[in-house]
Amino acid sequence: TDNGAASKKLRASLIDLIKTTELNGVVIDIKETDGVFLPESLKSFIQELHNDDIWVIARLVVFNDTVQAKAQPKMALKRSNGKLWLDRRGNGWLDPASIEAWDYIAGIGKKAIDYGFDEIQFDYLRFPSDGDTKNIVYHVYKSKTTPKYVVLKSFFEYISKALKEYKPDIILSA
């Protein structure tokens, strides 16, 4: 978020919409497949929303993460030739069983808490399903011994514990 005139006008119209309708919250994307978006100026906007009793939710895309997959290949899904595996949209993914990926997501969640978000909503909390999935090489996940739902359950238990220890009253959703 910037502090230019257009941005201020958009923010004001958003707050006005919420105050004049039955709406009571706003979802702000803080992490997409193309990276984390947590500029310092967002803190003051969150405070402004709180001043008007508006619930503020951080949307955090979990395992669909091209930027981190390229930056940290050991966390990434690959092909048998060692190249990054990409879905139909050309996005990279993190291995859902990677503890390093879990710690990375927990760190972003803690930063969102520090910014003042009331709730953290996890999206793309799943294994990839679009594209050439039969050619994914998982470096951590072991499909022969562990069902996918067990990995996802373990991730959510891990992230819940990490974030609830950091701030016990943080609301988590998926």
pLDDT digits (tens, 9 = 90+) for 98-148: 999 999 999 999 999 999 999 999 999 999 999 899 999 999 999 899 999
Nearest alpha-carbon partner for 141 in 87, 92, 76, 71:
76
- Rounded-to-integer distance, Cα 152 and Cα 144, Å: 16
- CB 91, CB 33: distance < 8 Å: yes
pLDDT at 19: 84
- Tell me the mean pLDDT in the region 76-92: 96
What pLDDT, on a 0 to 100 scale, did the predictor assign at position 117?
98
Asked if residue 3 has pLDDT above 70, the reply is: no
For residue 11, CA distances in Å to 1, 2, 21, 48, 73 come to 10, 10, 16, 10, 37
Determine contact, residues 29/64, Cβ cutoff 8 Å: no
Query: Considering only CA atoms, which of 76, 2, 7, 62 is closest in space to residue 33?
Result: 62
CB within 8 Å of 72: residues ≥ 6 apart: 100, 104
Q: Which residue has the higher pLDDT, 123 or 22?
A: 123
Structure tokens at 106: 């927990």
Q: Tokens at residue 160, please? A: 């819940």
pTM for the predicted model, two decimal places: 0.91
Residues 6+ apart with CB under 8 A from 103: none
pLDDT for 14 equals 82
Q: How far is residue 138's CA from residue 141's CA, in Å, rounded to a whole number?
A: 5
What mean pLDDT, rounded, does the chain reach?
Answer: 93
